[in-house]
Amino acid sequence: MSRLLEDKSALVTGAASGIGRATALAFGREGARVAIADIDHDGGEATVAMIREAGGDARFLSADVTREAEVEAAVRAAIDAFGCLDCAVNNAGITGAPGPIQDLAQGDFERVIALNLRGVFLCLKHEIRAMRQQGGGAIVNMASGAGLIATPGLAAYCASKHGVLGLTKTAALENARTGIRVNAICPGATDTPMLARSMAIDPQVEKMVLASLPGGRLGVADEIAEAAVWLCSDRSSFVNGDSMLVDGGAVAR
């Protein structure tokens, strides 16, 4: 059987662990050459090693997505390595410190916005520029169920993910005639190191997460990754500007 991303090249940010790593591995299995961008050198190189051990082609690119020069350099490096940029998954993000709005420090709020929202903006900016020059591509932004509904105690995270959906829809419409598709995935509570850290910090976060699981279980990172593969493949050629829920029915409550 032909693989969904055979001979395509991809850039995945935040791929040193969690959903990003699972996405990079899934892209490799489906035949893509994968550039892994992250600030975590050891984790990123470990993801590269996993892809190569499975017979795929991958490179690690050290990049902080809050810094435009580093994002631009990462996109250029991915193209230099693989000849083009067919797909991108803008996944890098953090949850941030939990707590009510009145207790949230300005610096903590701005750190989440910088990574989760500005980072996606900068990635979109330079990915779209590159894809316009080559005549098309597919981009997936990692949002959240928190981009669609309120998340008490995580105001910065909720605001940033709502913003990601606004960027996604705008970029999709701006590029609808360029051959570039831009979509978002809204994962539900997923078993990742980031979620585990958040639940360990604040028992209220753990309580909220456990109450949001209609099926009685957390999602698995591979389940989110499969949605990203499909959205970047030619199978989803008429899907553009979508906010795809992959959450086990959590937002349908």
Going residue by residue through the chain (253 aa), what tens digit of pLDDT does each one get? Answer: 679 999 999 999 999 999 999 999 999 999 999 999 999 999 999 999 999 999 999 999 999 999 999 999 999 999 999 999 999 999 999 999 889 999 999 999 999 999 999 999 999 999 999 999 999 999 999 999 999 999 889 999 999 999 999 999 999 999 999 999 999 999 988 877 777 777 677 667 667 777 778 888 888 999 999 999 999 999 999 999 999 999 989 888 7
pTM of the model: 0.94
Q: Residue 44 sits in a domain of what CATH number?
A: 3.40.50.720
Residue 84 lies in a domain: yes
Return the pLDDT at 253: 74
Residue 203 lies in a domain: no
Interacting residues of 161 by C-beta distance below 8 A, sequence separation 6+? 116, 143, 144, 146, 147, 186
Return the pLDDT at 213: 80
Return the pLDDT at 41: 98
Distances (CA, A) of 12 to 50, 167, 228: 15, 18, 10
Closest CA to 126 of 57, 83, 79: 79
Residue numbers annotated as active site: 157
Q: Domain span at residue 144?
A: 9-190+220-245
Return the pLDDT at 190: 83
Residue 142 lies in a domain: yes
Closest CA to 91 of 45, 39, 154: 39
Return the pLDDT at 199: 67
Q: Which DSSP state fits 114?
A: I
Give the strand order in the sheet containing 57-62: 57-62, 33-38, 9-13, 87-90, 137-142, 180-187, 243-246
Question: How far apart are alpha carbons 28 and 184 in whole angstroms?
Answer: 20
Residue 181 lies in a domain: yes
Residue 4 lies in a domain: no
Return the pLDDT at 120: 98
Residue 147 lies in a domain: yes
Residue 77 lies in a domain: yes
Residue 148 lies in a domain: yes
CA torsion 72→75→81→86, rounded to 10°?
-160
Number of domains in the chain: 1
